[in-house]
Structure 1
Amino acid sequence: EAYFARLIGLPFIAVMPNTTSREKVARIEFYGGRCHMIEGADVSAASRALATEIGGHFMDQFTYAERATDWRGNNNIAESIFEQLKLEPHPCPSWIVVSAGTGGTAATIGRYIRYQPTRNACTRLAVVDPEHSVFFDAYKDRKRCHRLPHGSRIEGIGRPIVEPSFLPDTIDRMIKVPDTLSLAAMRALEGLLGRKVGGSTGTNFIGALQVMGEMKAKGETGAVVTLICDGGERYLDTYYDDAWV
């Protein structure tokens, strides 16, 4: 967003918790953006207040994430997953495992599966949730009133409030993942992949391992898909720093 705002000559301000990694802040500032750091995790309320104060426009990704892409079309992440699996031994995966930040990715995949009868017959969606996030509880009781005083320590996923784009009815199950497992999996993946990944990818991997373990115990075979969310280079001074951990 900072890059494109600079292209059209508009100032860009990113409102983010003061726990955000320094590398993310530096990347935004590199492209001409300004970072407005806040205490706590209610970035939406802080963004609205700041936009009103300076006469700006709040780009509300938490509300519009679930409708930003056409989940029925052929240009979304769900369609890309099935396209990439087309020539695999199990082209229709048993499970897709993702995490939720805005909820938009899960909503797109869940809707796509339900919209396609052949996909709905064989594929289910599992969403993993880190500590200090309300999505798991909101899924269990279908209540949107849950609230926590602080946000997730796994950057990019988990929220202290139930965001508008989180749609429980598109999800088949949720898995709560401890932060220690997320970070351990993140580091283990570096050895497997030969590249650093972020903590949210570790959360996804733990969920995928749990699903695969359950399938194996039942004697089931099939494919399990998950996503690499972001690179780990942004977290060298946090998740990859033993002293910080």
Structure 2
Amino acid sequence: MSTSAQGPGGGAVATADVDRSDLEYRAWLKEAVRKVQADANRSADTHLLRFPLPEEWGIDLYLKDESTHPTGSLKHRLARSLFLYGLCNGWIRPAKPVIEASSGSTAVSEAYFAKLIGVPFIAVMPRTTSPEKCRLIEFHGGQCHFVDDSRKMYQEAASLAASTGGHYIDQFTYAERATDWRGNNNIAESIYQQLRLERYPEPAWIVATAGTGGTSATIARYVHYMQFDTRICVPDPENSCFFEGWTRNDLTATSDCGSRIEGIGRPRMEPSFVPGAIDRMMKVPDAASVAAIRALDRVSGRKAGGSTGTGLWSALKIVAEMVAGGRTGSVVTLLCDPGDRYLDKYYSDSWLDEQGLDITPYSAAIDRLLATGVWTE
């Protein structure tokens, strides 16, 4: 049997049937997918921790502790999904580098999966990324490629992929489509399963910060698909355009500089951020984010990264609104990654001074809320 194809000049050229499968590549692909899926099969679910609130409020606040993943952050889920997506689409190939634009945690997790399947990995990152994240990327066999302007990460990653013949995995485009939002033990399904035996099994609010926007999209879509009444709030740090883009319904919104809260906040409206799926956004001062993670450390003995603080500040504000309105229920936010990656930043008073951040009024607001149930800023 023969077929016709277009020749270089546009004319029809007779061709024989061609089997384009490569047995060696297909064997490599099957083994790579098996290894990535086996990683998930070996992993237990992450914990749902309670943040202590006065019992008489009738409100339960939980943190989904994503720091217990093998690579220590929420981004482990995303990296696994992105690698499966890239492998099954035929984009990730043997011996060819995988390249990512990342402010840190995603790159740590992707370096882990690249090493797992035996391909090189290059992370294109802002020069201000924490040294501990850089160390972890290199620990997993990845290479750090720095840019001075975070807004140029995308172009630099695409350029590196073109020059090396590698694959730009592009978390900001593919995060929301690589994850199965209908279930399959995604983070949303996990939260609801873990709340089954709690006194308020269907949370009033889930608070999810946005870097790519993929996590908030996954949770919001799952909530709508399952017909829950839960509302989704996305807090946004300073120097990020998501809040402005959402409030103005402007998908072209931009920010002139990068976020100080690593892992969240973007200078452009990312393709994986789905504004229509969420119910509320808050703009959170960076000093408030730091105050919140220091409060978490005081009440629970757990240090977390700045993005956790952004979410916790917003969750506490929602709790205060519920107290003021005489409402009961549960609120869930995310513990995105551990604080030991940021000891020289968010836990350093000298860094706060350098950045001109005063956390005192925000720490006082949290302490006042926990003592009296009254929220003031």
Q: Using structure 2 for the length normalisation, give the TM-score.
A: 0.63
Matched, 1:63 2:152: no
Which of 123, 139, 142 is the equivalent residue of 2:249? 142
Q: State the secondary structure of the residue aligned to 1:223.
A: strand
Letter in 1 for 2:276: D
1:2 deviates by 1.6
Q: State the secondary structure of the residue aligned to 1:164.
A: coil
Let me know the Cα RMSD of the aligned residues.
Answer: 1.1
Which of 185, 189, 195 is the equivalent residue of 1:75? 185
Which of 5, 20, 26 is the equivalent residue of 2:129? 20
Larger radius of gyration: 2
State the partner residue of 1:186: 293
Q: State the secondary structure of the residue aligned to 1:136.
A: helix
* CA spacing shift, 1:23–1:94, aligned 2, 3 Å: same
Q: State the secondary structure of the residue aligned to 2:319.
A: helix
- The whole-number CA distance in structure 2 between the counterparts of 1:116 and 1:3 is 33
Q: How many residues align?
A: 242
Matched, 1:168 2:275: yes
1:214 deviates by 1.1
Q: C-alpha offsets along residues 176-227 of structure 1, whole Å, 9 cap, x if unaligned?
A: 1000000011111111221210011110110001111111111111101111
State the partner residue of 1:9: 118
CA contact (8 A) 1:40 1:149 kept: no
State the partner residue of 2:215: 105
- The whole-number CA distance in structure 2 between the counterparts of 1:4 and 1:148 is 31
Q: C-alpha offsets along residues 36-70 of structure 1, whole Å, 9 cap, x if unaligned?
A: 01112222222112211222210011111101221
Letter in 2 for 1:33: G
Decide which structure has greater strand share. 2
Structure 1 range deviating more: 9-18 or 173-182: 9-18
Q: C-alpha offsets along residues 83-113 of structure 1, whole Å, 9 cap, x if unaligned?
A: 1110011000100011000000000010011
1:9 deviates by 3.2
Matched, 1:221 2:328: yes
Query: Which has the bigger relative contact order, CA under 8 A and spacing at least 6?
Result: 1
Unaligned 5+ runs, structure 1:
none
Which of 222, 239, 243 is the equivalent residue of 2:346? 239
Point out 4+ residue stretches in structure 1 off by more than 6 angstroms. Answer: none
Matched, 1:127 2:237: no
Q: Using structure 1 for the length normalisation, give the TM-score.
A: 0.96
